[in-house]
């Protein structure tokens, strides 16, 4: 009776609710920073850091290793700066003074939540930052 006509409709509804493959996969965007460009000179210095304003990021050179994070405090949305104290691998919020590790974890509050960080790979004078969307 009705069962034969309802089954195709129910199957169509169930299929329309399934996630599209493109919706579930992460997309990766990469961009590069050429350290031979004078505008990136602060990144050549130990403990040097700079904001990449057009990307909303901050990059820091800690002991020759580079780290990159969203340039926005999770507590108050203010800009971050690299901590230039010897042995410190932290970003500090310029307003609330929260501190975040190179992995984005809160080291000192008032912030409760960490910040998003991105991997940085150096090859010669080129830094490649991979942003996951």
Q: Could you tell me the residue range of the domain that residue 64 belongs to?
A: 23-132
Q: How many Å apart are CA 9 and CA 14, to the nearest integer?
A: 9
pLDDT over threshold 60, residue 14: no
Q: Determine if the pTM surpasses 0.75.
A: no
Q: What CATH number corresponds to the domain at position 59?
A: 2.102.10.10
Does a structural domain hold residue 1? no
18 — pLDDT class (breaks 50, 70, 90): very low
Which is more confidently placed, 77 or 16?
77
**Quick check: 100 and 114 in contact, CB under 8 A?**
yes
Does a structural domain hold residue 4? no
CA distances in angstroms from 19 to 24, 28, 80, 81, 110, listed in the order given: 7, 19, 37, 40, 38
Find all residues with CB under 8 Å of 67, minimum gap 6, and list them. 59, 60, 89, 102, 117, 120
Does a structural domain hold residue 87? yes
Give 19's DSSP letter. P
36 — pLDDT class (breaks 50, 70, 90): very high
What integer pLDDT is reported at residue 28 of this predicted model?
Answer: 65
**Quick check: 68 and 58 in contact, CB under 8 A?**
yes
Does a structural domain hold residue 53? yes
Question: Tokens 């991105």 label which residue?
Answer: 118
Does a structural domain hold residue 75? yes
pLDDT over threshold 90, residue 45: no
Indicate the number of domains in the chain: 1
Does a structural domain hold residue 96? yes
Which pLDDT tens digit goes with each residue over 70-128?
A: 888 898 988 887 765 656 678 889 899 999 988 899 999 999 999 999 989 999 999 99
Phi first, then psi: give them for residue 68, nearest 5 degrees.
-135, 140
pLDDT over threshold 70, residue 7: no
């Amino acid at each position: 009776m009705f069962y034969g006509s309802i089954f195709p409709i129910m199957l169509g509804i169930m299929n329309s609710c399934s996630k599209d493959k493109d919706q579930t996969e992460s997309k990766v965007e990469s961009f590069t920073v050429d350290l031979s460009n004078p505008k990136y000179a602060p990144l050549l210095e130990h403990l040097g850091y700079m904001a990449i304003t057009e990307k909303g990021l901050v990059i820091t050179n800690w002991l020759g290793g580079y780290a990159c994070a969203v340039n926005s405090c999770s507590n108050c949305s203010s800009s971050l700066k690299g901590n230039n104290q010897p042995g410190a691998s932290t970003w500090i919020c310029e307003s609330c003074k929260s501190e975040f590790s190179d992995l984005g974890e809160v080291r000192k509050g008032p912030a409760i939540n960490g910040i998003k960080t991105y991997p940085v790979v150096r090859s010669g004078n080129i830094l490649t930052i991979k942003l996951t969307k």
